[in-house]
């Protein structure tokens, strides 16, 4: 907190320097000022202070820009009302960043309000309501992409999770979380169990690689910090939100959890309504009873979100539970491995991690596997229960994992599983086909070489071989549709009966007979191609009124 004398000196310096620039903005704001503009200036001045290497920037109310004279602002004259602006701004900024301080300077010419705005933290551009702002001289503009990346690149190659939190001490960690961490560490390192009991907390935290030489790291705050210690990693957050939605995707309930995440990931798990699911197993009259969501899958999904979250983006982790039998895990940051298939094939730890220090600590505290087999195990658990395989999506710099807690088609699932020569990669790819997802070139080549799919990219369907093995012949015919020769016969029969016809007439007859995997536009193109082929072969031609007729020459 600066003294009154310091503030008056800063005000005099800002006025004397004259013109506004990227890190100083003057506003008269005689009585009020638009809240949205305050937010945009906050984002812009944060980012510009970072780019200019300044500790902070200034937004000043009560100053005329033209001559820098004081005009006596009446903006929020009640001090409590003025201070409340901190929280109001924080609610819409990256990581809830807000003013360093708001100062009032009372001069002979009148009142001035000075907002000291922090520089955006290293590697973290600050947004206002999801948009990044910057300055071009005095002008307020969107922060351009090059500048956003310049800020983000400040931490490329650094491990965010290993940074020391200078002002934090062991007293900022939860006693209960440390005790649980000890027990988990002993389970992971049984040969050290007796020795661990002799260590004091500082020694244990160093040995578990949560702290560094007795100093508190961001990892320590995330995993073991007291809830009120979250501010130490600001503007990053240590939040997991559980949200319950009904079958219409309407939110019914929610709860937010913060550090210590070592304990609170279990609290999130307890919120999930993990009902029993019953279905008749193959070859028996007695039902199998399983959890909708295997505990391992839920904990692996949550802990992966914690381990691989890009904390520099300031987002939180979401776990959305849908009442119709689906869990969706979402964390910020791109997916570092090249693909899920590569993870399943390698079945080994990743060579690089976004948060290596955090990952190692979570391994030591028995939160995640050290051998990198977690994702493959999730797929196999779902496969053995005949549930749809986990779905991964990588969009908008987020990783989204969907886990379905029910059987979609028990007969199909059983019979696909019964085809002995299918391995997990085949089943993952066939699962994509059943969900109408895009196959990559390697998957197409793999499935076609084994005779498992037919069709043209991107509209593939199961092959006759799979349909015959799974008893899904009707669905095969439905997706394969009728062949071109049969379509030509229908067109010829139509023209024999009605003498002439337009393309639209043939569409009405053929649309419901073409493959369901084709869109209406694709079906229309297919009919057009068949007509052109018949014309080239001399079977039909265009008559005088531009309608198709039989070519009887």
Question: What CA–CA distance (Å, rounded) separates 491 from 187?
Answer: 73
Paired tokens of 405: 């807690």
pLDDT in tens, 399-415: 999 999 987 666 556 65
pLDDT in tens, 254-307: 999 999 999 999 999 999 988 877 665 555 545 567 888 999 999 999 999 999
Whole-number average pLDDT of the chain? 85
The answer to whether residues 131 and 142 touch, using CB atoms and an 8 Å cutoff, is: yes
The fold adopted by the segment(s) 240-428 is Heat Shock Protein 90 (3.30.565)
Supply the DSSP symbol for 522.
Answer: H
pLDDT in tens, 499-513: 999 999 998 888 877
- pLDDT for 518 beyond 50: yes
Residue burial 419-446, b: 16+ Cβ < 10 Å; e: rest: beebebbbbbbbbbbbeeeebeeebbeb
Helices 424-434, 410-418: inter-axial angle, 10-degree rounding: 150
Cα separation values, 500 from 509, 526, 540, Å: 14, 20, 10
Structurally, at CATH architecture level, domain 4-155 sits in 2-Layer Sandwich (3.30)
pLDDT in tens, 78-136: 999 999 999 999 989 887 889 999 999 999 999 999 999 999 887 788 999 889 999 98
Domain assignments of the chain as residue spans, ordered by start? 4-155, 161-233, 240-428, 429-480, 484-550
């Amino acid at each position: 907190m600066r003294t009154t004398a310091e503030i008056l000196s800063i005000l005099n310096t800002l006025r004397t320097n004259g013109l506004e620039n990227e890190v100083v903005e003057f506003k008269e704001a005689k009585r009020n000022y638009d809240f949205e503009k305050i937010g945009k200036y906050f984002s812009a001045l944060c980012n510009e202070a970072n780019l200019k290497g300044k500790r902070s920037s200034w937004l000043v109310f009560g100053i005329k820009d033209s001559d820098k004279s004081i005009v006596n602002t009446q903006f929020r004259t009640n001090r409590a009302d003025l201070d409340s602006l901190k929280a109001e701004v924080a609610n819409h900024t990256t990581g809830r960043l807000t003013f360093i301080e708001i100062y009032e300077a009372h001069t002979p010419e009148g009142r001035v309000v000075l907002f000291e705005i922090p520089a955006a933290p290293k590697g973290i551009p600050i947004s206002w309501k999801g948009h990044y702002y910057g300055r071009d001289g005095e002008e307020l503009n969107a922060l351009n992409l090059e500048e956003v990346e310049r800020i983000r690149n400040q931490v490329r190659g650094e491990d965010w999770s290993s940074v020391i939190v200078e002002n934090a001490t062991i007293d900022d960690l939860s006693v209960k979380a440390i005790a649980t961490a000890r027990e988990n560490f002993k389970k992971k390192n049984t040969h050290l169990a007796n020795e661990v009991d002799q260590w004091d907390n500082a020694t244990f935290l160093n040995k578990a690689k949560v702290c560094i030489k007795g100093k508190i790291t961001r990892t320590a705050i995330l995993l073991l910090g007291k809830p009120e210690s979250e501010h130490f990693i600001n503007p990053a957050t240590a939040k997991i939100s559980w949200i319950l939605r009904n079958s219409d995707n309407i939110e019914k309930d929610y709860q937010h959890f913060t550090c210590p995440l070592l304990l609170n990931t279990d609290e999130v798990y307890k919120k999930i309504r993990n009902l029993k699911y019953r279905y008749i197993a193959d070859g028996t009259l007695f039902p199998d009873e399983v959890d909708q969501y295997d505990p391992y899958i839920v904990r692996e999904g949550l802990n992966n979100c914690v381990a691989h979250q890009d904390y520099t983006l300031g987002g939180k982790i979401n776990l959305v539970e849908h009442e119709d039998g689906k869990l969706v895990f979402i964390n910020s940051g791109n997916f570092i491995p090249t693909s899920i298939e590569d993870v399943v094939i390698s079945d080994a730890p990743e060579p690089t991690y976004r948060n290596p220090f955090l990952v190692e600590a979570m391994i030591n505290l028995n939160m995640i596997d050290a051998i990198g087999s977690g994702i493959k195990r999730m797929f196999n658990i779902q496969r053995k229960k005949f549930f749809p395989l986990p779905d991964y999506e990588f969009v908008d710099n987020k990783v989204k994992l969907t886990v379905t807690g029910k059987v979609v088609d028990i007969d199909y699932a059983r019979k696909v599983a019964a085809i002995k020569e299918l391995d997990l990669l085949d089943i993952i790819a066939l699962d994509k086909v059943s969900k109408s997802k895009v196959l990559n070139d390697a998957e197409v080549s793999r499935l076609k070489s084994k005779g498992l799919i037919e069709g043209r990219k991107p509209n593939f369907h199961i092959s006759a071989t799979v349909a015959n093995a799974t008893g899904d012949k009707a669905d095969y015919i439905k997706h394969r549709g009728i062949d071109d020769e049969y379509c030509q016969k229908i067109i010829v029969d139509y023209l024999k009966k009605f003498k002439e016809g337009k393309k639209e007439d043939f569409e009405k007859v053929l649309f419901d007979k073409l493959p369901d995997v084709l869109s209406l536009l694709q079906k229309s193109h297919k009919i057009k191609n068949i007509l052109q082929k018949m014309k080239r072969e001399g079977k039909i031609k265009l008559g005088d009124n531009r309608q198709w007729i039989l070519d009887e020459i």
